Structure 1
Amino acid sequence: MKTIGILTSGGDAPGMNAAIRAVVRSAIYYGCKVYGINRGYKGLIEDDVQEMNLSSVGDIIHRGGTILKSSRCEEFKTEEGRKIAVKVLKKYGIDCLVVIGGDGSFNGASKLSELGFPAIGIPGTIDNDLAYTDYTIGYFTAIETVIDAIGKIRDTSSSHERVNIVEVMGRHCGDLALYSGLAGGAETIILPEHPESIEGICDRLETTKKRGKKHSIIVLAEGVGNAHEIGKQIAEKTGSDLRVTILGHVQRGGSPSAFDRILASKLGVRAVELLLDGKSARVVGVKDDKVIDMDIHEALAMKKEFDKYTYKMTKILSI
């Protein structure tokens, strides 16, 4: 009988609880024992571990956040910290580990695998910034959250004939801004992969004014720069009444969408099956609507491809 450990690490994402549920229940179905590790790698080093059963994951599939909590841990980045983590895993007889998180969490899993400890990664991040998988858990829920906010901001923007900048998460990957901006009907979308000059943004605002539209929505990915400074420059050049809304961590919360619950469930079960097959240093994901797995090092080395066509399409639709 294998004993499987599970932890969530880094930024939380809607659907993490659905993934935890899938891992715990499928592991028990296959005759395994399961331990939950609280607060990610930090909790692992600090021996914050508990055994889980079917009741541990009852009524959590619809809940946002993560019942195992999450944190970031600088100590785990050191060789000494990882050795402590392995000692704790061995103390509980844990044979292998499932890690739910983003690229930083996956790097931790790969380091454990290098120490001879089997680990599988499940992608949980609203940024959708992992190149090997089409979608990450939490991404589509975050899009719905942003779209809801854009709709409400558009109402007040229209009433006051204002320009509104809506800043969303995405330091290096603009997927959240691009697709929520498309779905939300934003007039301008500013991305880290495709920076746009202030002059270009202002020209577009002037064009919309000339056709009689006196309010606009600009969706800005946080990695581009300071939203208030960008807004100040736009307001000075155009004379627009401009407001900035930074959505912040509201994007990480909320009940996961049906898509994210289903995706998390599929990936959680597949992760357990890989461990039972003796696999290690793998990540699970989805490609062309099929659940896939691949080497964790190869996955982390892949570069995210910018969706130029969709970006072009937003330009066409916002004339």
Structure 2
Amino acid sequence: MRWATTTTNAFEGDADRRWFTVPETGVYVVAGSVSVKSGPVQAAGDGVIIYLYRRVGSGAVSVATVREIAQQSYDVQIVSTAAIVHLTAGDLIGTGIYLEAGSPSTSFAVQSSEWESVFGAWMVAPVPSFAAPPTAFVPAGEWRDGEQITPALMKERITDPIRALYNPPRVSVVRPLPYSAASAQAVRVGWSRAGFEESGGWSLSRDGTTITAPATGVYLVASTLATQRDGPEGPFGSYQVQLLRNGSLVSLRQRQNTRTTYPTGISGTDVVFLNKGDSLSSVFLGTGTGLTWQGFDVDPRIERWNGLAAVMLAPAATGMKG
């Protein structure tokens, strides 16, 4: 996608404003959304895909991919996704949109008014790798009248706390374990250890269904989950993805999938307070008569359709209220 206007700090855009150069190596939050308007759509709907791309050299791979189905003719629909990923200085990032219109019309248009479609990224940790060791959080302490300011005290009160803020605990899983479920059957999604990266002491349960936080604080959690529906086509199939903390619901997102043997996905972000030892997990639930649902995945080195990641934003927090 080409962007009409850009506002950047350190990022550099190319002449077409399609690709933006990552200025420093580190962990970033990358997010994008696009607003599209359809013409007449197929009876079972048409697909709209958004990609968040990372380009190294001449090759580009997606760090997040979401497909939704546009069902209402001549209607506007917003598709969005976000990811927490490690990027290297000099990488290029961008976003793409694929409009999958078929019979009876190929009429699909991206809405171009300000804020109808957006793309952005911001660094949360300038670290050499996603799994680089974190820095333990140190409270800044209080300054006292008459205290002698020494280099050691400056390091203790300023340098050490800032280093911790720049190197927070973080975790990422990108390969879901296979699952299949009938409608109205909730399934806790498992994640493969092969796609597990962490810094700070996160743990992935033996069955892959929960990740456990190593430290107390406020976290940003980003999740994307793709599913494929099997069964007769029609507007009666919907599905939801739930984010759980210690088994209790934190957030819920729901979409429809009206086409058989057709993968779609849900993406979202949440700001969540976690105590040390709290767990995060995802639950999938499909609805509709005579339908079955199964996980959809491709090699994340080519396209990333799934992921669950978290990064600490506030290590001194003792709750969402303070």
TM surpasses 0.5: no
TM-score of the superposed pair, with normalisation by structure 2:
0.24
**Structure with greater strand percent:** 2
Greater helix share, 1 or 2? Answer: 1
